[in-house]
């Protein structure tokens, strides 16, 4: 009888501990259920494309869906349209030119999207402004190019974007993971007043982001390394409600299907991160190709009562559906 009694006691203890962990980390009991998502518009209002078979070398401008709008990603008109549609934050891509300027453009090379050739970093700002940013977009394998001729003169600098949208939340993707480009971006951001810098965030590769963080320790930044260290630390200690220091004042771009492994998922987790000034941005799919919540059907995957951020490439479609 002794071993049975001991087994029963052990089972009782395990049950009590498991029940306590559930209660301590129950989003249903403790999480904020009454909010609405905030929307991050990826590159403004962008042309979208199917992700099947896409890799790092794919020219996605040659794969777009038939356009239902005339906006070109990473331009002031597309960003303005996103804010008008209801975006709470704009994400855009930044890289350096041959003359040391910081331009807003996604690809390292020009052939896919524009009528230019070579790498962005081989050209001056003046050269890049002369390009047609809509030149390469096609939805029918090159039979027609519906955006050709609409993008000349639309190449912007990061400073022009910041000036165009005063007070708005902006997320900069530092495209080239190089220390020199991190230094260049940090040097520009250091010229901004503290109140404007508080509305800016930077993400990208580990090297470039580390440089920005060292130069501007109060700026919100994130990288794969920062997010990995945060989530691993939280998985180990989050059952207590503790949020590791590496998670503080940053941003987590989190594929929604991985969230179930996190203590307090979904809304208690968001609340805990918010308490240390960290944003949780939900992305669709596995995360590597900036898959967003772009169709009404995609919203079915968003946790009920989600109070964090949603990543979208079609804020004009999603904003009317994701609000209260």
Judge residue 37's burial from the number of C-beta atoms within 10 Å of its C-beta, 0-12 exposed, 13-18 middle, 19 or more buried: buried
Write down the pLDDT at residue 256: 84
Write down the pLDDT at residue 54: 82
First to last CA, the chain: 59
Write down the pLDDT at residue 311: 96
Model pLDDT for residues 161-209, shown as the tens digit of each residue: 999 999 999 999 999 999 999 999 999 999 999 999 999 999 999 999 9
β-bridge partners, 223? 204
Residues 6+ apart with CB under 8 A from 149: 132, 134, 135
Write down the pLDDT at residue 46: 93
CB contact at 8 A, 78 and 43: yes
Q: How far is CA 234 from the centre of its chain?
A: 20
pLDDT string in tens for the chain (324-residue length): 565 555 554 444 344 344 445 455 765 655 555 678 999 999 999 999 988 878 878 999 999 999 999 999 999 999 999 999 999 999 999 999 999 999 999 999 999 999 999 999 999 999 999 999 999 999 999 999 999 999 999 999 999 999 999 999 999 999 999 999 999 999 999 999 999 999 999 999 999 999 999 999 999 999 999 999 999 999 999 999 999 999 999 999 999 888 888 999 999 999 999 999 999 999 997 766 678 999 999 999 998 889 999 999 999 999 999 876
In 205-269, DSSP assigns E strands to 220-223, 251-255
What gap in Å lies between CA 98 and CA 93, rounded to an integer?
17
DSSP state of 132: B
Q: In this structure, what are the phi and psi dihedrals at residue 132, rounded to the nearest 5 degrees?
A: -95, 110
Judge residue 8's burial from the number of C-beta atoms within 10 Å of its C-beta, 0-12 exposed, 13-18 middle, 19 or more buried: exposed
What gap in Å lies between CA 308 and CA 39, rounded to an integer?
9
What gap in Å lies between CA 103 and CA 196, rounded to an integer?
19
Query: What's the token pair of residue 144?
Result: 């027609």
Tokens 């520009």 belong to 188
* Alpha-carbon Rg for the chain in angstroms: 22
Write down the pLDDT at residue 124: 98
Model pLDDT for residues 256-294, shown as the tens digit of each residue: 888 888 999 999 999 999 999 999 999 997 766 678 999
- Is residue 94 classed as helix, strand or coil in its secondary structure? strand
Alpha helices in 37-106 (DSSP H): 76-85
Which structural domains are found in the chain, ordered by start?
Answer: 41-72+93-218 (3.20.20.190), 221-324 (no CATH)
Residues 6+ apart with CB under 8 A from 122: 98
């Amino acid at each position: 009888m002794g071993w049975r009694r001991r087994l029963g006691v052990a089972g009782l203890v395990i049950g009590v501990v498991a029940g306590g962990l559930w209660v301590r980390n129950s989003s249903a009991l403790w999480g904020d259920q009454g909010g609405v998502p905030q929307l991050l518009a990826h590159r403004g209002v962008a042309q979208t494309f199917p992700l099947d078979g896409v890799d790092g070398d794919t020219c996605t401008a040659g794969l777009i869906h038939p356009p239902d709008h005339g906006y070109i990603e990473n331009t002031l008109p597309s960003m303005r349209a996103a804010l008008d549609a209801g975006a709470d934050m704009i994400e855009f891509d930044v890289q350096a030119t041959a003359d040391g300027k910081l331009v807003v453009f996604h690809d390292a090379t020009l052939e896919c999207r524009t009528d230019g050739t070579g790498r962005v970093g081989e050209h001056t700002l003046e050269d890049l402004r002369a390009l047609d940013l809509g030149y390469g977009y096609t939805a029918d394998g090159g039979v027609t190019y519906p955006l050709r001729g609409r993008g000349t003169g639309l190449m912007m600098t990061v400073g022009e974007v910041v000036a165009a949208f005063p007070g708005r939340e902006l997320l900069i993707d530092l495209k080239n993971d190089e220390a020199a480009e991190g230094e260049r971006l940090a040097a520009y951001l250091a010229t901004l007043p503290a109140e404007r810098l508080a509305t800016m965030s930077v993400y990208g590769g580990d090297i470039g982001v580390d440089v920005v963080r060292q130069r501007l320790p109060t700026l919100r930044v994130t990288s794969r390394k920062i997010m990995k260290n945060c989530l691993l630390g939280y998985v180990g200690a989050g059952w207590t409600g503790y949020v590791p220091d590496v998670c503080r004042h940053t941003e987590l771009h989190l594929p929604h299907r991985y969230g179930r492994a996190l203590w307090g998922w979904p809304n208690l987790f968001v609340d805990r991160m918010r308490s240390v000034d960290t944003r949780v941005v939900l992305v669709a799919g596995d995360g590597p190709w900036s898959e967003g919540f772009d169709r009404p059907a995609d919203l079915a995957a968003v946790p009920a009562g989600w109070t964090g951020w949603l990543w979208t490439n079609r804020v004009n479609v999603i904003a009317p559906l994701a609000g209260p």
